[in-house]
Amino acid sequence: MSAPARKLRVATTSLAGCFGCHMSFLDIDEHLFELVELIEFDRSPLTDIKEVGPCDIGLIEGGVCNAENVHVLRAFRRNCKTLIALGACAVNGGLPAQRNHLPLSECLREVYQFRPGIANGQIPNDPELPLPLDKVRPIHEVVRIDYFLPGCPPSGPAIWKFLTDLIAGRSPRLTGGLLHYD
Amino acid sequence: MKQFLLDGQPVPFADGQSILEAARQAGHYIPSLCWHKDFPAHGSCKLCIVKAAGRHVSACATPAREGWEVESNTPEMNGERRGLLQMLFVEGNHFCPSCEKSGSCELQALGYEYEMLTSRFRHFYPDRPVDASHPDVLLDFNRCIFCELCVRASRDVDGKSVFALTGRGIHKHLVVNAESGRLADTDFSKDDMAAHICPVGVILHKGPGFAVPIGERTYDTSSIRSLKLQEEDS
């Protein structure tokens, strides 16, 4: 792939995720050298930039489990021309969403008050802590999403295929066994 | 022999044979979840939707007719199928990464076959507690798609009527035929046909777990399309 006139600006973040998708992103290994010829990073755990700026591509790992996630997701949507749900949790809520059939108060009490070994436990209530939502949501239920890349995590080759399709101006397509939900 | 056209290809059929049966016999794949060759057509999953003589019909429940033009593997029909799969996914709790059936699940395999990348709609996240009471078999109702294959196998082959669907519309759910509602209080056995017929991850045998690792399972290595057509040949 020839280098574009201007490098594409890419932002990434993990909301209610485990950073496994980001680890998988790094699993594209030596393709990272090709990638840095084509893109530069904006907000991302890789740069430590705290606020997202105008970008071509935004990669979102994880679902939406609290108020801060909503804020970050909306900021990404405002700034990114193309927004991508990266991985199972962003696509359908994933593991964090498995609390969805339980009342939130019960979850919090179970973890912070009744867990064995806890004495005088209290549910954290610091104003700095983002408030949890009653249900964990996939990101497409909060903002418009342009592309979805499922998998837990999507494999390095799947991420590479997806990004190279996108950068080359093709509709990204996961063929040849690259599409997996697990 | 009488024949109809499936995506422009002639398909022979015997009187009374469904579009789906005739197509599979002739080596053409029409997808299905609730259809099973040992049982009468059920017509509930609608994955076998085709356009026959201009109308949308379930290929499993529609007898083939001489001279019909049937559309199946077209962008329109496959788009309908993707939509149906997306609705099945949001209606239950289908978290593939934590499911023991992942890789051997027909619902998931059809998601791959029809390149479903998102479940698109708003998720229901229903509350469906699991039943782990039986010594050999676990029931995880979260993944039930109401195909009634276990209901039919238990009633018609095993002669036990262990399962039933109850409730209507969005309240429909799978129940166990026991006073307590628990599988342990039935005569269900791990050797029953019903114990081996679930196309998704509801009826799970305790023990095997992840003995076959993710990535090496049935539909990890071959497409559901090719495997179902091979089944037809054998």
What integer pLDDT is reported at residue A3 of this predicted model?
Answer: 58
Residue A60 lies in a domain: yes
| B96 vs A: CB within 8 A | yes
Q: Collapse the DSSP code of A84 into the 3-class scheme (helix H, G, I; strand E, B; otherwise coil) and give the result.
A: strand
Q: Give the best residue of A142, A165, A180 to mutate against chain B (max B CB count within 10 A).
A: A180
Contacts of B89 in chain A (CB under 8 A): 92
Residue A91: which domain range?
Answer: 8-98+132-167
| A36 in a structural domain | yes
Q: How confident is the model at residue A2 (pLDDT cuts 50, 70, 90)?
A: low
Residue A93 near chain B (CB below 8 Å): yes
CA distance A119 to A91: 38
- The string of pLDDT tens digits covering residues A7-45 is 999 999 999 999 999 999 999 999 999 999 999 999 999
**CA distance to partner chain A, nearest, from residue B61 (Å):** 31
Q: Is the pTM of this model over 0.90?
A: yes
Domains annotated for chain B, with CATH where assigned, are 3-73 (3.10.20.740), 82-233 (3.30.70.20)
Q: Is A142 part of any domain?
A: yes
Judge whether residue B145 has pLDDT over 70. yes
User: A96 pLDDT exceeds 70?
Assistant: yes
Q: Is the pLDDT of residue B60 over 90?
A: yes
pLDDT at B233 over 90: no
In angstroms, rounded to a whole number, what is the distance separating the alpha carbons of residues A56 and B159?
61
Give the residue on A whose Cα is nearest the Cα of B107. Answer: A181
How many Cα atoms are found within 13 Å in the side-chain-facing hemisphere of B224? 18
Query: Does pLDDT of B117 surpass 90?
Result: yes
Kindly determine whether residue A100 and residue B125, on different chains, have CB atoms separated by under 8 Å.
Answer: yes
Q: Do A174 and B94 touch (CB under 8 A)?
A: no
Q: Looking at the domain assignment, is residue A176 inside a domain?
A: no
- The answer to whether position A155 is within a domain reads yes
A123-170 per-position pLDDT tens digit: 999 999 999 999 999 999 999 999 999 999 999 999 999 999 999 999
Q: Which residues in chain B are closer than 8 Å to A95, comparing Cβ atoms?
A: 95, 97-98
Residue identified by tokens 């973890």 is A111
Decide if pLDDT at B234 tops 90: no
**Can you give the pLDDT at residue B106?**
98
The 3-class SS string of A98-167 reads: HHCCCCHHHHHHHHHCCCCCCCCCCCCCCCCCCCEEEEEECHHHCCCCCEEECCCCCCHHHHHHHHHHHH
- The continuous run of DSSP H or E covering B46 comes out as none
B117 and A138 within 8 Å at the Cβ level: the answer is: no
CB-based contact B96 A181, cutoff 8 Å: yes
Q: What is the mean pLDDT of residues B84-104?
A: 97
Q: Is residue A177 in some structural domain?
A: no
Residues of chain B contacting A101 with CB distance shorter than 8 Å: 93, 125-128
Rounded to the nearest angstrom, the minimum Cα separation between B139 and chain A is 17
CA proximity to B125, closest of A89, A99, A109, A151:
A99
> What pLDDT score was predicted for residue B129?
95
In the structure, what pLDDT confidence band is assigned to residue A72 with cuts at 50, 70 and 90?
very high
Q: Which of B112, B125, B220 sits opposite A97 (nearest CB)?
A: B125
The answer, yes or no, to whether the previous bond of A153 is cis (omega within 30 of 0) is yes
Domain count, chain A: 1
pLDDT category at B52 given cuts 50, 70, 90 is: very high
Question: Does residue A113 carry a pLDDT above 80?
Answer: yes
Question: Residue B124 burial (CB < 10 Å; 0-12/13-18/19+)?
Answer: middle
pLDDT band at residue B232 using 50, 70 and 90 as cut-offs: confident
Beta bridge partners of A148: A85
CB atoms within 10 A of CB B10: 10
For B:203-222, CB contacts with A below 8 A are 214, 220
Examine residue A92 and state whether it is found in any structural domain, yes or no.
yes
Q: Is residue A41 part of a domain?
A: yes
Is A177 within 8 Å of B97 when comparing Cβ atoms? no
Contact B117 A148 (CB under 8 A): yes
Residue keyed to tokens 């393709």: A31
Residues 117-136 of A with CB under 8 A from B: 135
CA distance A20 to chain B (A): 13
CATH code of A153's domain = 3.40.50.700
Count Cα neighbours of B155 within 13 Å in the Cβ-side half-sphere.
Answer: 11
Cross-chain Cβ contact B125/A140 below 8 Å: no
Residue (of A25, A30, A97) closest to A59 by Cα position: A25
**Residue A4 scores a pLDDT above 70:** no
**CB-based contact A152 B125, cutoff 8 Å:** no
* DSSP 8-class letter at B155: I
